[in-house]
Amino acid sequence: MYQAMSALSFAGESPGRGGFTLDAAPKGASVVVLGAGLAGMTAAFELRKAGYKVRVLEYSPKAGGRCWTLRGGDRFTELGGATQHCTFDKGQYFNPGPWRIPYHHYAILDYCRQFKVPLEPFIQTNYNALLHSSSAFGGKPQRYRAVQADYQGHVAELLGKSVNQGSLDQAVTREDREKLLESLRTWAGLGKDMGYRTSLDSSMRRGFAVDAGGGLMPAAQFSSPMERDQLLHSGLWLYLMVGQLYEFQSSIFQPAGGMDAIASAFAGQLQGLIRLNAKVTRLQQDANGVTVTYDDLGNGQTLQEKADWCVCTLPLSILSQIPCDFAAPMQAAVRAVPYGASVKVGLQFKRRFWEQDEHIYGGISYTDTPIGQIGYPNCDFGSDGKGVLLGGYMFENNNAFEFTAMSPEQRIAKALEYGNQLHPQYRECFDSGIAVGWHRVPTSLGCFGVWTEETRAQHYDNLCAIDGRVVLAGEHASQLPAWQEGAILSAQNAITRLHTHALGRQVRV
């Protein structure tokens, strides 16, 4: 999985280090930015800071793009006409788009620092969360820590016995053999005979059947490991590697109160520059500048915006449907990248049963049912009242397409049905829900640009190149697709090249 993610540029450290700045703009130069997602607002913020006259056109009634949070009172109409009204309680929210920020995504963290966006920990791996296979252990969810401890224990036992039987004599020295055996005992809680069994050491890793108490409460009781064959056949070990992937290693962050705190902070820096409800219908350019035609959805007028240069951050799924004066290589690149499917379901419950009944505070449970995973809120721990779970996250698989094809009500019903297999409190405690299928979001028609090695080799450079007076930016024009960091770095790189190009044109004139 990690190799595949690396090949598609999903994994890797951000090269951004903060402190981005441009030199002074050519006198009187202007730029129109298409799209007020994080890429567009990054471009607008930095270009204006350099002295460009900037205007941003945004299709939606709110800036942020896929950096989006739904709260009580919000309304969302998807492609096909289904309208959902969010009825979450005050203070509750749901991020249908991005929901976490790795510690090595330096550019977005730098803007959070600049704009004073408060961050809090995002718990990726919670050892008390659940791993669930509908066909193993009678369908009963298992604790993450127990699966990890037992998997390590059984593997360590097999390796230890192999070492003792001399199977690795050609690979390790006698001294190395002794160190390896001791490390396996310590790592996995094995006995002196290298066996993994019910013991204090194994229970210290997987948890106790009865925890230690005080006074005359029952004494602690060791727990019994799962059988090796049953664990291997369950497939639950698959989920153990997720938290070890580079993107998900601690520390991970989330903005306090919802991901759109970042979008709001950017928008606050660009007051008066963003025109909302502006649906771009044509992009023209010539030797003298660019002309963008757009429909003002507020008053029904068709208007135009003219500028010297254009930074276009529209998703390619949208841009490919708009007449544009691009050269053939750029046109081919725009049309070569499909958009991935993703569905997220937010569920509000009448009480925080995952904390009160099961002691799960933040993190993620995984399941082989179609909902894929359940995410628990990483804030307001121990509070009374209602709470919102990520009740399902389908990402670029058949389940994502199937859920996208459902009505919102059906998505929520299915999320409850499958989630009930992990938490039997679901039915009793459910309050309300909302479900977003990204292929039905009119402003994006998909979740993220999907590159293959072949399409990236053939079209990526053309997509990122300056075409006359236009340059593209966004997560689709980055080596970090589907991440906000990719969108921001793409914008910074695009405007750096455009700025250099503009200065060169000025010198030649």
Domain holding 264: CATH number? Answer: 3.50.50.60
In terms of Cα–Cα distance, which of 11, 239, 21, 4 is closest to 104?
11
Q: Convert the pLDDT of each residue in 270-292 to its tens digit.
A: 999 999 999 999 999 999 999 99
Q: Convert the pLDDT of each residue in 107-124 to its tens digit.
A: 999 999 999 999 999 999
d(CA 357, CA 503): 63
Q: What are the residues facing 34 on neighbouring strands?
A: 57, 312
Residue 509 scores a pLDDT above 60: no
Task: Write out the two tokens for 208.
Answer: 């106790």
Residues 359 and 436 in one domain: yes
Domain holding 412: CATH number? Answer: 3.90.660.10
User: According to the model, what pLDDT value does residue 11 have?
Assistant: 55
Residue 165 scores a pLDDT above 90: no
pLDDT band at 162 (very low <50, low <70, confident <90, very high): confident
User: According to the model, what pLDDT value does residue 479 have?
Assistant: 95
User: According to the model, what pLDDT value does residue 213 have?
Assistant: 87
Hey, what amino acid is at 483? W
Residues 383 and 349 in one domain: yes
Residues 416 and 355 in one domain: yes
User: According to the model, what pLDDT value does residue 508 have?
Assistant: 42
Domain span including residue 425: 70-128+250-256+340-440
User: According to the model, what pLDDT value does residue 164 have?
Assistant: 77
Residues 6+ apart with CB under 8 A from 181: 160, 163, 164, 194
Instruction: Say if 195 falls within a structural domain.
Output: yes
From 385, 412, 440, give the residue that closes a domain. Answer: 440
Mean pLDDT on 255-278? 98
Q: Convert the pLDDT of each residue in 307-342 to its tens digit.
A: 999 999 999 999 999 999 999 999 999 999 999 999
Please state, for a pLDDT cut of 90, what percent of the chain lies above it: 87
Residue 6 scores a pLDDT above 70: no
Q: H helices of 53-105, where?
A: none
Instruction: Say if 17 falls within a structural domain.
Output: no
> CB–CB of 411/435 below 8 Å?
yes
Instruction: Say if 350 falls within a structural domain.
Output: yes
User: According to the model, what pLDDT value does residue 214 have?
Assistant: 87
pLDDT band at 215 (very low <50, low <70, confident <90, very high): confident
Task: For residue 224, count other CB atoms closer than 10 A to its CB.
Answer: 14
Domain holding 195: CATH number? Answer: 1.20.1440.240
Q: Convert the pLDDT of each residue in 465-488 to its tens digit.
A: 999 999 999 999 999 999 999 999
Q: Token match 């914008």: residue? A: 491
Residues 347 and 431 in one domain: yes
b/e per residue 427-446 (b: at least 16 CB within 10 A): eebbbbbbbbbbbbbebbbb
Q: What are the residues facing 305 on neighbouring strands?
A: 292
Mean pLDDT of the chain: 94
Residues 122 and 205 in one domain: no
Task: Write out the two tokens for 227.
Answer: 């059988």
User: According to the model, what pLDDT value does residue 175 have?
Assistant: 85
User: According to the model, what pLDDT value does residue 3 have?
Assistant: 38
From 440, 472, 488, give the residue that closes a domain. Answer: 440
Q: Is residue 291 classed as helix, strand or coil in its secondary structure?
A: strand
Residues 346 and 333 in one domain: no
Residue 358 scores a pLDDT above 60: yes
Residues 384 and 315 in one domain: no
Residues 326 and 389 in one domain: no
Residues 228 and 158 in one domain: yes
Number of structural domains in the chain? 3
Q: Convert the pLDDT of each residue in 125-141 to its tens digit.
A: 999 999 999 999 999 99
Q: Are strands 142-143 and 130-132 parallel, antiparallel or unpaired?
A: antiparallel
Torsion of CA 263, 265, 271, 273, to 10 degrees: -40
Q: Convert the pLDDT of each residue in 362-416 to its tens digit.
A: 999 999 999 999 999 999 999 999 999 999 999 988 999 999 999 999 999 999 9
User: According to the model, what pLDDT value does residue 118 have?
Assistant: 98
Instruction: Say if 137 falls within a structural domain.
Output: no
Residues 420 and 368 in one domain: yes
User: According to the model, what pLDDT value does residue 314 have?
Assistant: 98
> CB–CB of 42/259 below 8 Å?
no
Task: Write out the two tokens for 464.
Answer: 């990122």
Instruction: Say if 4 falls within a structural domain.
Output: no
Residues 331 and 454 in one domain: yes
Instruction: Say if 9 falls within a structural domain.
Output: no
Instruction: Say if 133 falls within a structural domain.
Output: no
pTM of the complete model beyond 0.85: yes
Residues 432 and 355 in one domain: yes
d(CA 4, CA 15): 20
Instruction: Say if 501 falls within a structural domain.
Output: yes
